[in-house]
Structure 1
């Protein structure tokens, strides 16, 4: 192990200690539309990760937008997963979902975030995912 590997190991251990939320990262199923009944049968979601994470807002304010004539406030977050998290067989992508299942801050439980980007780096201390709250 060289000096950089030791520094990264210490940084990754410190980052893991900050991961106080429990999240589920998944890809929603697309579902099947039945033209004769006009209904959609939901398809099962694909779980990409479930476990500890750090969920941190990027700013204290959101951005208001109109989506389909509905006003929404977009608030951006960074979701950090452990460096040691298993690599999913399907890589996360925009449109995937992060649900916060547990947190010391009870106001965060039940928050649903939509993935907007995924960061990769061999020198990162955690696996970071950009996401937004669309409420």
Structure 2
């Protein structure tokens, strides 16, 4: 078991080096519950819960060609992405990353990705993974 643990530690460190070299930075957050504003009579967004902020590797999934769906009164194309964060990443106590949470790309080696918001659709757990993989989609209108 010791050999596998050492190999995994090396692979996880190498994956983190890859993330650092790519320069991708993300913030994974959950939008806050709306708060009623007595002065305006309207709901305003509550504060976001930041689940993670730091290095990542954001890449489109190879098999993702984009699915066109109807959302409201407009057509939206969904593209799938994998967001890898360090395997050792933790989230605030009592929280989990779940579908509906958002991934804001703060910086990316492809500068066109910076500012993109992705919507979490799932996550992967594995004791032998080199990174924590979170799956998300870009809801391009």
User: TM-score, normalised on structure 1?
Assistant: 0.91
Q: Using the alignment, how far apart are the partners of 2:87 and 2:43 within structure 1?
A: 38
After TM superposition, give the deviation of residue 119 of structure 1 in Å: 1.1
Q: Does 1:47 align with 2:50?
A: yes
Structure 1 residue ranges (4+ consecutive) displaced by more than 6 angstroms after TM superposition: none
Match of 1:103 among 98, 108, 120: 108
Q: Say which SS state the counterpart of residue 5 (structure 2) adopts.
A: helix
Unaligned runs of 5+ in 1: none
Shift in alpha-carbon separation, 1:17–1:76, aligned structure 2, 3 A: same
Which stretches in structure 2 are left out of the alignment for 5+ residues?
A: none
Q: Secondary structure at the match of 1:16?
A: helix
Query: Normalising to structure 2: TM-score of the pair?
Result: 0.87
Match of 1:82 among 65, 69, 86: 86
Aligned-residue offset at 1:85 = 2.0
Give 1:134's aligned residue.
139
Match of 1:94, SS state, is coil
